[in-house]
Amino acid sequence: MSKQPVTEDGIAYKKPKKSKKDRRNAALYLSPSLLGLLFFFIVPFFVIIFYAVVDNPVNREFVFLDNFISIIQNSSFQQAVKNTITFSLVAVPLAVILSLVMAMLLEQNIPMRSQFRTFFLSPMMVPVASIVLIWQVLFDYHGVINEFIQKLNMAPIDWFKSDYSQIVVVVLFLWKNLGYNMILFMAALNAIPRDILEVATLESATEFQKFWYIKLRYLSSTILFVAILSLINSFKVFRELYLLAGDYPYKSLYMLQHFMNNTFHSLDYQKLSAAAILMAIVMCIVIGILFFVEDHFGKDVEEA
Amino acid sequence: MKKWKRRLKKILLTFVALVFAVSFLLPTILTIANSFMSEGEINTNYGVIFNQFKEPEYGERNTDYVSETVNLKFIPDMVDFSQYSTVLLKSPEYLLKFWNSVILTVPIVIFQILIALGAAYSFTRFRGRIRELIFFLYVALMLMPFQVTLVPNYLVADWLHILDTRWSILLPGFFAPFSVYLLTKFMRRIPTSLIEAAQLDGANEWQIFTRICIPLCKGAIASVAILVFIDYWNMVEQPLIMLSDADKHPLSVFLSQINSGEVGLAFAVATIYMVPTILIFLYGEEYLVEGISYSGSVKG
């Protein structure tokens, strides 16, 4: 890569000279936002780090990692971590694959494509709480799904209070997030240079070959982005879960967010801070991977 | 032969798309359809699910016929507006909660974007290592889940003694990094030649910002506004933690609390609550789609 900066369209531009005036202007336009960010997010975060390494806010005796250790040994924290990881491991790959399938489906020559796109996006407009109501109708013990299952002569399943409960949440998560991911994939599919695909068609490549050798290669960075976005969104599924099952749901539905939320209510700053920091560290690693991978794969396609 | 095969493929694919579409639309349609049923009809259809949560009142519910199984019905036996009249005329609490949602969401959308425009302009016009580092900070913060960012927000709200007031949700919302990130991505697409031309004509920074960048970003601003609106309109976590006074809760939180008691009412309230987002879909879907497309990578 040359040192000259390039816009996203590949047009080289002159690096602005860093005059004093420029710098002052830059600071001026950024300051409202940055000051707010510092005050509401960054500075208190350092205070949290402080809270996490002292024994209590009044005594302020330095205990280093004790709070972290007690968090990690806390059995409900362990349960929450385990459930969150299991959930993400199932939900994220499904979210990536299904949304890619949907995006490719809408690329095909089928009628009413733009209507289908609207339909697939429609879950975004439904308020979470009313989804929850519908989910109860569907997955309740006397609900629609069990009725269907019974018609097939199988035993009904107690969806919310058994090991199947995570399935309910995975379905909810997919329903809510697939549309957004699909749009990301559609944009990426659109960005694949047409001429490469045309050449492949001329050389009588099959649909599968075109997908495997060309499209997938161009999509690689988007796939990773969608995967990580879905991972982040899978942490946000608490919103639905809380409305569905409340503060203390069935064991396999107890997620990290429940742990945090319940700790909030007991106002245990030490525990809360330590948990928030642990989570921030994990997220930083994930985001770091995202940046690294995007750098790496982005270049790969550009040079190809 | 080949033509026949192609047609079969088309039919198959359309069928798959239809299956997807139906499953995606089902909950929405069900919500709207159920909102036009009377409480009695709802009770007949879903009584077996929701009745177990509540005590029979005055014995009147017991006389209703309750189906042994759940009935999914998309067309009400009789279109009935009683749920709506209850919501709109008889119980002001719902309207109050709706208003709570409005006064929490609308200022956040407006101020978050206004503040973000300046930041995005700064990130677009003046580049450098430090600036990229700060931008990275924004992206990292944006990707942090609520459980991480709400703890600092809560601390600051506690310091400022604004816990239990709307400001505890509004102020962090004004400075949330999402708009900055997306607007920067849009603004960096503005050709530099345009800005340079304006500079040659003697435009100062403020003029470039207000006369070139903002007008060129109108579409982007619409996209960002839509995404931010949808996000905050559905907020659940912030009010739960910041506002212990349930009177100040937005409808998005309150909706879940009417679930068990008056189901029919909940459907009507949910439908009313959907109206703004449905309008957004009808008139701004292109902006929404464009906004999502632009969020497709973390770099500016």
A/B interface, count of CB pairs below 8 Å: 294
Q: Does A225 touch chain B (CB under 8 A)?
A: yes
Handedness of CA A75, A77, A79, A85 (dihedral sign): negative
Q: Which residues of B touch A106 (CB under 8 A)?
A: 17
Contact call for B298 and A264, based on CB within 8 A: no
B37 Cβ contact list (under 8 Å, min separation 6): B45, B73, B76, B77, B80, B83, B264, B267
Least Cα distance to A183 among B285, B222, B214, B45 occurs for B285
Paired strand residues for A54: A62
Instruction: Give the distance from residue B173's alpha carbon to the nearest chain A alpha carbon, in angstroms.
Output: 10
Q: Quick check: is A266 in a domain?
A: no
Point out which residues pair with A12 in neighbouring strands: A6
Structure tokens at B106: 């609308």
What's the CATH code of the domain at A99?
1.10.3720.10
A9 to chain B, any CB pair closer than 8 A? The answer is yes
Collect contacts of B49-53 with beta carbons under 8 A, ≥24 apart: B49/A136, B49/A137, B49/A140, B49/A142, B49/A143, B50/A136, B50/B259, B50/B260, B50/B263, B53/B260, B53/B261
Q: What is the pLDDT along chain B (300 residues), one digit of tens a residue?
A: 678 888 888 888 889 889 888 888 888 888 888 888 877 777 777 766 665 544 444 444 444 455 556 666 677 777 777 778 877 877 788 888 899 999 999 999 999 999 999 999 999 888 788 888 898 889 888 888 877 888 889 889 989 999 889 999 999 999 999 999 989 988 988 888 888 888 888 888 889 999 989 999 988 899 899 989 988 998 888 888 888 888 888 988 887 776 556 777 888 888 888 889 888 888 888 888 888 888 776 554
The answer as to whether A62 is a domain residue is: no
Range of the domain at A118: 75-254+287-303
CA distance B232 to B235: 5
Element (H, E) at A84: helix A75-107
- If one counts every other C-beta atom within 10 angstroms of the C-beta of residue B140, the result is 18
Residue B73 amino acid letter: K
Give a yes or no: residue A247 inside a domain: yes
**Sign of CA pseudo-dihedral B196, B197, B198, B201:** positive
B151, B156, B179, B237: best to mutate for the A interface, most A CBs within 10 A: B151
How many residues are present in chain A? 304
- Which residues 145-174 on chain A approach chain B with CB closer than 8 angstroms? 147
Cβ contact B148–A32 (<8 Å): no
Residue A60 lies in a domain: no
Inside any domain, residue A161 = yes
Pair of tokens at residue B196: 């340079």
Q: Is residue A65 part of a domain?
A: no
pLDDT at A13 over 60: no
Could A37 and B28 be called an inter-chain contact, meaning their C-beta atoms sit closer than 8 Å? no
DSSP string, B231-279: HHHT--HHHHHH---GGG--HHHHHHHTTTT-HHHHHHHHHHHHHHHHH
Instruction: Give the residue among A116, A259, A252, A93 at the shortest CA–CA distance from A177.
Output: A93
Domains along chain B? 2-88 (no CATH), 89-294 (1.10.3720.10)
Comparing CA positions, the residue from A51, A76, A48 lying closest to residue A62 is A51
Give me the DSSP letters along A110-135.
-TTHHHHHHHHHGGGGS-HHHHHHHH
A291 contacts chain B (CB < 8 A): yes
B151 contacts A273? CB cut-off 8 A: yes
Confirm whether A59 is domain-assigned.
Answer: no
- Phi/psi class of residue A111: alpha, beta or left (left: φ > 0; alpha: ψ in -120 to 50)? beta
The alpha carbon dihedral of B106, B110, B116, B120 has a sign of positive
**Closest CA–CA distance from residue B247 to any residue of chain A (Å):** 17
- Please check whether residue A86 lies inside any domain of the structure: yes
Q: Both tokens of residue A141?
A: 């013990």
Note whether A122 contacts B24, CB cutoff 8 Å: yes
Q: What's the domain count of chain A?
A: 1
Tell which wins on pLDDT, A130 or B110. Answer: B110
- B116 neighbourhood in chain A, CB within 8 Å: 33
